[in-house]
Structure 1
């Protein structure tokens, strides 16, 4: 399967996106420690007491960035894998994967740094374009089998 150059390209960007998700998870955990804002009472007790079983706006911002990644990267991984099997041009496929990747990185940076609107919204919207394109191409490729 990795001999398929489009699939190999997809795997490259897919793995980068998963690593980015791990980075956001680590940032969230570090922010919890720094702000002493723990979601679970047992964690709060371990780090100073139940008064730290609380929410913090910065921790919540990190959490929302991570949740948004899961809501968007997981569908991309499904679409990209199937799309890779439809025989697209390597150049076009790479453009789809690269645009999505860059926009998701920009979205995370905008979320974590609270960049001025509409930076995050634009990054989100532009990242949806390759996903919709892949979905349409997948549907066109399989329409004769349905």
Structure 2
């Protein structure tokens, strides 16, 4: 069986988890845009203060730290630091032909950990809470990478 087809349930699991994570990354960017427009602040670059259709009356205070916007940027940066490793490790993992149940536990476990990490960050939970969900996701990625490496070395 070709491992990288939707006929392979492990690959289908990967496709579902990966698509959800891609949507999470892209959605977080849109959340940042929404927050910037909602509070008309938190702009990142000096050229953002040029008058335009969406910012008819720019103000110097629109640039600079704004926790409401910056929190979303931090969540986005965290996604960009973690989800690409999952996308790569997950694909390598599929090529190692793991059992379906192992793939589902690990891949859907990563997705769930990232969702809970998002909720913890968005609702300003403690660092320990966020770190717990980060750790779960990180361990999943490491397990998948080691599994793929082990399969390649055997």
Q: Taking structure 1 as the reference length, what is the TM-score of the superposition?
A: 0.92
Paired residue for 2:117? 107
The one of 106, 128, 139 aligned to 1:129: 139
Q: Do 2:42 and 2:70's aligned partners in 1 also have CA atoms closer than 8 Å?
A: no
Paired with 1:117 and 1:80, the residues of 2 have a C-alpha distance of: 27
Note if 1:60 corresponds to 2:64. no
Q: Aligned pairs, how many?
A: 144
Q: What is the aligned-residue RMSD (CA, Å)?
A: 1.3
Contact kept, 8 Å, 2:46 with 2:63, in 1: the verdict is yes
Question: Does residue 49 in structure 1 map to residue 58 in structure 2?
Answer: yes
Confirm whether residue 22 of structure 1 aligns to residue 26 of structure 2.
yes
Superposed structure 1 runs of 4+ greater than 3 Å apart? none
For residue 50 of structure 1, report the CA deviation from its aligned partner: 4.2
Q: How far apart, in 2, do the equivalents of 1:105 and 1:140 lie?
A: 29
Segments of structure 1 that go 5 or more residues without pairing to the other structure are none
Partners of 2:135 and 2:34 in 1: CA distance: 29
TM superposition shift of 1:85: 1.1
The question of 1:93 aligning with 2:103 is answered yes
Q: Secondary structure at the match of 2:117?
A: helix
CA distance in 1, matches of 2:127, 2:96: 37
Equivalent residue of 2:50, what SS? helix
- TM-aligned CA deviation for residue 115 of structure 1: 1.4
Partner of residue 126, structure 2? 116
- Listed one character per residue, the Cα deviations across residues 73-113 of structure 1 (whole Å, up to 9, x for unaligned) are 00100000110111100011000001100000111111122
